[in-house]
Amino acid sequence: MEQKTKIKGKVHYVGVNDRTKHLFEGLWPLPYGVSYNSYLIDDEKVALVDTVDICYFEVFLHKIRSVIGDRPIDYLIINHMEPDHSGSLSLIKQHYPNIIIVGNKQTFGMVEGFYGITGEQYLIANGDSLDLGYHKLTFYLTPMVHWPETMMTFDETEGIIFSGDGFGAFGTLDGGFMDTRLNTDIFWQEMIRYYSNIVGKYGSAVQKALEKLAPLSITTICSTHGPVWIEQKDRVIDIYDRMSRYEGEEGVVIVYGTMYGNTEQMAEAIALELSVQGIKNIVLHNVNKRHPSYIIADIFKYKGLIIGSATYCNELYPEIDSLLSKILTRDMKNRYLGYFGSFCWSSAALRHMHTFAEKSKFELVGIPVDMKISMSDQTYDECEALGLAMAERLKQDR
């Protein structure tokens, strides 16, 4: 059993899979589940890196004991305090009462706040080290990837970065936990969705973390979610680098809120013109049907964004309103924005879209289209013109 959990050196995988929860953070769908990764370093001194969601404590404890038997754990290194990782902290402390918690100044306030735990602490600052015997660990503070206390732990001996949420992805680890033993196909899209949904607001913090990691000789990424990355670690770092710079691929997300399909016809007209103009990556999302988790992921993926809304109670269509709030929350940058609206007796959606456009600071492309009641030849021409303007803007970047 011990060898089957081994990653490198004396480092073992002791994480768990969650195929039960429907919504991560109560918000984000988990069609492929999610893993909560924890790592056990079975050295002269034993160290546990993060814990798991409390629902899986018994499985977790069994995995720990299968590696170290009755040996005590000397250190619990907390890279991140969000309860999907710290949830088992109290129970670990009950089973290993002499364990020393390793964290930074921000960590310990949360340890006490969430779990009422005080006692012996190993307080680290950026660049501090911990020698376990074979493995020599160095700590890097990476605040806001994804909370203020987040840090990463680098194993100098084997080049392993224990990266917390950094480089994470949704999706359970079915069978193998290392990319060398897994079909990783699902994880690329689930990585974009995870990043955009969970960490997406903190692009500049991720960029600062990447700068800190750049001088390190990383062989292996041990994140708290998703596979252990060895063979494909460079691709993972590149994805996180591009997403945290808000760099999009050529393509357009057209997202619209419609009640009876008239506003949808505007989206179709715009999309057809984009296609005629040579843009191949076009994704239409009916906001009623598609969960915002997936829409946000596509907005992170593509440079072009066109949003349409029917007028509803003299406001935006409610689900579009909610989506705009999620976009602004993530402080997204570097997008080309077009928009359109519709109304039956009083135009309001377009006015609210204009307010959003100003707040977003996105580059406005084309002339916004407002439609009264249903599609006319003139409205169709205006939609085509909007599609054409977006296509031309995207093609300037080729």
Cβ(265)–Cβ(286) under 8 Å?
no
Among 10, 12, 63, 80, binds ligand FEO (CB under 6 A): 80
* In the complex, minimum distance from the CB of residue 51 to ligand FEO, in angstroms, rounded to a whole number: 12
Least CB distance to ligand FEO at residue 85 (A): 6
Contact 121, 88 (CB under 8 A): no
Strand partners, 18: 34
DSSP, residue by residue, 228-292: BBSTTHHHHHHHHHHHHTT--EEEEEEEEE-SSSHHHHHHHHHHHHHHHTT---EEEEETTTS-H
Closest contact distance (angstroms) between CB of 23 and ligand FEO is: 14
CA distance 373 to 369: 13
Q: Please identify, among the stretches 38-46, 81-89, 352-360, 370-378, the one whose residues bind ligand FEO according to the rule CB under 6 A.
A: 81-89
Pick between residue 165 and residue 384 the one whose CB is nearest to ligand FEO: 165
Helix, strand or coil, per DSSP, at residue 201: helix
Contact region with ligand FEO (CB under 6 A), list: 78-86, 234-242, 340-348, 350-358: 78-86
Q: Minimum distance from CB of 305 to ligand FEO (Å)?
A: 26
Shortest Å, Cβ 225 to ligand FEO = 6
**Per-residue mark of binding to ligand FEO, 117-146 (x: CB under 6 A):** -----------------------------x
Q: Smallest distance, Å, CB 147 to ligand FEO?
A: 6
Give Cα separations from 135 to 53, 72, 138, 184, 246 (angstroms): 26, 17, 10, 28, 36
| Binding positions for ligand FEO, 146-165, rule CB under 6 A | 146, 165
User: With respect to ligand FEO, which residue has the nearer C-beta, 134 or 147?
Assistant: 147
- First CA to last CA distance, the chain: 52
- Binding part of the chain for ligand FEO, among 82-90, 134-142, 205-213, 321-329 by CB under 6 A, reads 82-90
155 sits in which H/E element: strand 151-155
- The reply on whether position 225 binds ligand FEO by CB under 6 A is yes
Residue 14 CB, shortest distance to ligand FEO, in Å, is 16
| Cβ-closest position to ligand FEO | 82
Tokens of 240: 């996180």
Token pair in block for residue 41: 């370093």
Does the protein bind ligand FEO through residue 190 (CB under 6 A)? no
From the list 76-84, 133-141, 320-328, 358-366, the region that binds ligand FEO by CB under 6 A is 76-84
Distance CA 241, CA 239 (A): 5
For residue 49, give the H/E element and its range. strand 46-49
Which one of the spans 2-10, 15-23, 79-87, 335-343 is the region binding ligand FEO (CB under 6 A)?
A: 79-87
143 vs 159, beta carbon nearer ligand FEO: 143
Measured from the CB of residue 155, what is the shortest distance to ligand FEO in angstroms? 20
Site for ligand FEO in 162-181 (CB under 6 A): 165
Q: Which whole-number Å values give the CA distances from 287 to 114, 292, 293, 313, 362, in the listed order?
A: 36, 7, 11, 17, 21
Among 82, 179, 190, 382, indicate the residue that binds ligand FEO (CB under 6 A): 82
Strands 75-77 and 46-49: parallel
Query: 286 exposed, middle or buried (CB, 10 Å; 0-12, 13-18, 19+)?
Result: middle
CB of 20 to ligand FEO, least distance (A): 16
Q: Cα-Cα-Cα-Cα dihedral of 237, 238, 241, 242, to 10°?
A: -150
**Assign residue 247 a region: left if phi > 0, alpha if psi is -120 to 50, beta otherwise?**
beta
What is residue 73's DSSP assignment? P
DSSP secondary structure letter of residue 38: -
- 79 or 265, CB closer to ligand FEO? 79
Is position 8 an interface residue for ligand FEO (rule: CB under 6 A)? Answer: no
**Smaller CB separation from ligand FEO, 84 or 190:** 84
In the shown chain, the binding pattern of residues 84 to 113 toward ligand FEO, with x for contact by CB under 6 A and - for none, equals: xx----------------------------
Size of the site for ligand FEO (CB under 6 A): 8
Site residues (vs ligand FEO, CB under 6 A): 80, 82, 84-85, 146, 165, 224-225
